């Protein structure tokens, strides 16, 4: 299976990806996580991406497309789940070309809906593990020990782009540049919409129900 997961910042993409990849044995490819790893390792790519990420804008297409096509090439046969990529129509077109070169296509697109005011609350309460990338929330998804990752036993951190001003800009960027992608994918009839303003478990179950039906079809 080759899947794209769309949704605004804070819609719960990362949270649901963890569930989906565990259930269907897929590789989770998050462009945001890869960029953060590059930044942590202080690579040339990480340095180039820094100012765009910190302001809530998009990293230029050519950088992202090269980074993600390389990651996809190394994906296992079982398939992958793309989180945060593509994020512009141009990225989607280039992804399609690159997959076509390897006789592959995207099987379906999952789209998480949530209102902007909910996003702000979710994002300011988010805490992440700097090692494994696990995502928590100070109210909705608490770790077993406060402030500590369940998997790695290290202190959770807040993302530098999770401040109110940057979140507002990320939402603006999403509506201007990424939302048009939903219509782009809708034209070929592969988009499945989910109300993400429910508990993480309810959202997960609605995704599993749809995916199980798609896998059987």
Query: To which residue do tokens 């953060």 refer?
Result: 36
Q: Which of residues 183-202 bind ligand AP5 (CB under 6 A)?
A: 196, 198-200
Residue 81 binds which entry of Mg ion, ligand AP5, none, CB below 5-8 Å type-dependent:
none
Q: Which of residues 141-160 bind ligand AP5 (CB under 6 A)?
A: 141
Question: How far apart are CB 72 and Mg ion at their closest, in Å?
Answer: 18
Q: Which of residues 28-67 bind ligand AP5 (CB under 6 A)?
A: 31-32, 35, 52-53, 56-59, 64
133 binds ligand AP5 (CB under 6 A): no
Report the candidate in 29, 65, 64, 25 with the shortest Cα–Cα distance to residue 46. Answer: 64
14 binds Mg ion (CB under 5 A): yes
Q: Interhelix angle for 116-124 vs 164-173, to 10°?
A: 140
Question: How far apart are CB 212 and ligand AP5 at their closest, in Å?
Answer: 20
> Per the structure block, which two tokens stand in for 82?
């793309």
Q: Interhelix angle for 31-40 vs 61-73, to 10°?
A: 100
User: Residues in contact with Mg ion, total (CB under 5 A)?
Assistant: 2
Q: Which residues pair with 155 in a beta bridge?
A: 148
Q: Which residues pair with 137 in a beta bridge?
A: 126, 141
Strands annotated E in the chain: 2-7, 27-30, 80-83, 108-113, 126-128, 135-137, 191-195
Residues forming contacts to Mg ion in the complex (CB under 5 A) are 13-14
Q: List residues binding ligand AP5 (CB under 6 A).
A: 7, 9-15, 31-32, 35, 52-53, 56-59, 64, 84-85, 87, 91, 122-123, 125-126, 135-137, 140-141, 170, 196, 198-200, 203
């Amino acid at each position: 299976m080759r899947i794209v997961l769309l949704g605004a910042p804070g819609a719960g993409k990362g949270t649901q990806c963890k569930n989906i990849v565990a259930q269907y044995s897929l590789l989770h490819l998050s462009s945001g996580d890869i960029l953060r790893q590059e930044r942590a390792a202080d690579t040339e790519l990480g340095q180039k991406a820094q100012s765009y990420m910190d302001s809530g804008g998009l990293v230029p297409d050519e950088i992202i497309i090269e980074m993600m096509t390389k990651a996809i090439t190394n994906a296992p046969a079982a398939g992958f789940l793309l989180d945060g990529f593509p994020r512009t129509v141009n990225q989607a077109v280039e992804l399609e070309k690159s997959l076509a070169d390897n006789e592959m296509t995207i099987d379906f697109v999952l789209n998480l809906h949530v209102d902007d005011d909910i996003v702000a609350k979710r994002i300011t309460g988010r805490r992440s593990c700097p090692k494994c990338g696990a995502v928590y929330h100070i109210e909705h998804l608490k770790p077993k020990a406060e402030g500590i990752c369940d998997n790695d036993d290290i202190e959770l951190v807040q993302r530098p782009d999770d401040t109110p001003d940057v979140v507002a800009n990320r939402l603006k960027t999403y509506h201007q540049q990424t939302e048009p992608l939903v219509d782009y994918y809708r034209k070929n009839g592969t988009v499945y919409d989910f109300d993400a303003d429910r508990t993480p478990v309810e959202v997960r179950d609605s995704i599993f129900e749809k995916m199980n039906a798609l896998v059987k079809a």
